[in-house]
């Protein structure tokens, strides 16, 4: 059990962590928040391309054991239909917020995503997870002392009663994106078409980098059929390829940009500024 002084020190450390504009107070009143800052707050934090920053030193560091195991857990959850790769990207890269995204190791965010998806999809309860974490802490209260971590599961089962996500169920035995083949109709854009990447409002998640918006180019190839990432990330049962969500865009566009794959990301490049297809 931590002491009062230790808890006070922990709270002081938390108070130093800032992910807001220093010129504004915490939880500013609406009159203090302009549109530009509002857009910045709402921007998905994983879309960092083009943001000014200092160069990072690349280090060819071996992964630690827990990082390998985290990757394995994430892959098993995908293979067994608990989540999609787009769900993992959103939960581990965007939903965590800017401070966690920039502050934790890469696989640290993956590990948080594992816990969150299991809780949100009711495979475990938060109380259950907290109790198990406390048990593990008590088991290694003196550290590993040269021993390896040991799994002590309370039970093991076949998983027949585990609820799988809808995308997994309809793709079993067929594959993804093969399950969507031939379901999208004719592509809206064809090779050689001039297009511009649309500047759509962004909420919660996107795969269209901000720096690519407004970029122009020429269609180089037509991609495979698949739901839009923005719909697939919530495992929508009706997220099927159709007139507005088909992955009919090339990437890259003549090497000038890499827009999101579905039709809503681009519009024809035309003098008619009102021409924006959905």
Amino acid 271: pLDDT: 37
Amino acid 159: pLDDT: 80
Mark the ranges of the chain whose per-residue pLDDT is less than 70: 240-265, 269-278
Amino acid 249: pLDDT: 38
Amino acid 229: pLDDT: 84
> Helix, strand, or coil here: 117?
helix
Distance, CA of 126 to CA of 64 (rounded, Å): 27
Residue of 65, 106, 107, 211 marked active site: 106
Amino acid 60: pLDDT: 86
pTM, rounded to two decimals: 0.79
pLDDT in tens, 162-208: 888 888 888 888 888 888 888 877 788 888 889 888 888 888 998 88
Mark whether 63 is an active-site residue: no
CB 80 within 8 A of CB 72: no
At 267, list the tokens: 């519009």
Distance, CA of 99 to CA of 93 (rounded, Å): 11
Amino acid 277: pLDDT: 29
At 47, list the tokens: 């879309």
């Amino acid at each position: 059990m931590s002491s009062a002084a230790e808890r006070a020190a922990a709270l002081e450390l938390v108070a130093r962590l800032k992910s807001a504009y220093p010129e504004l107070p915490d939880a500013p009143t609406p009159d203090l928040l302009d549109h530009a800052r509002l857009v910045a707050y709402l921007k998905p934090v994983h879309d960092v391309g083009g943001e000014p920053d200092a160069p990072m030193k690349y280090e060819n560091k071996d992964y630690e054991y827990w990082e390998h195991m985290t990757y394995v857990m994430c892959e098993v959850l995908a293979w067994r239909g608990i989540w999609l790769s787009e769900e993992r990207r959103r939960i581990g890269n965007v939903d965590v917020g800017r401070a966690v995204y920039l502050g934790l190791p890469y696989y640290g965010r993956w590990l948080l995503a594992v816990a969150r998806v299991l809780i949100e999809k009711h495979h475990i309860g938060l109380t259950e997870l907290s109790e198990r974490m406390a048990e593990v802490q008590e088991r290694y209260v003196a550290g590993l002392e040269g021993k390896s971590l040991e799994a002590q599961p309370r039970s093991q089962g076949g998983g027949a009663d585990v609820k799988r996500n809808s995308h997994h169920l309809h793709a079993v035995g067929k594959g993804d994106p093969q399950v969507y083949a031939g379901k999208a109709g004719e592509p809206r854009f064809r090779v050689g078409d001039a297009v511009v990447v649309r500047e759509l409002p962004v909420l919660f998640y996107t795969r269209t980098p901000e720096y690519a918006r407004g970029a122009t180019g020429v269609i180089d190839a037509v991609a495979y059929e698949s739901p839009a990432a923005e719909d697939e990330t919530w495992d929508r049962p009706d997220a099927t390829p159709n007139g507005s969500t088909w992955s009919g865009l090339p990437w890259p566009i003549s090497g000038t940009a890499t827009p999101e794959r579905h039709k809503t990301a681009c519009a024809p490049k035309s003098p008619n500024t009102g021409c924006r297809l959905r």
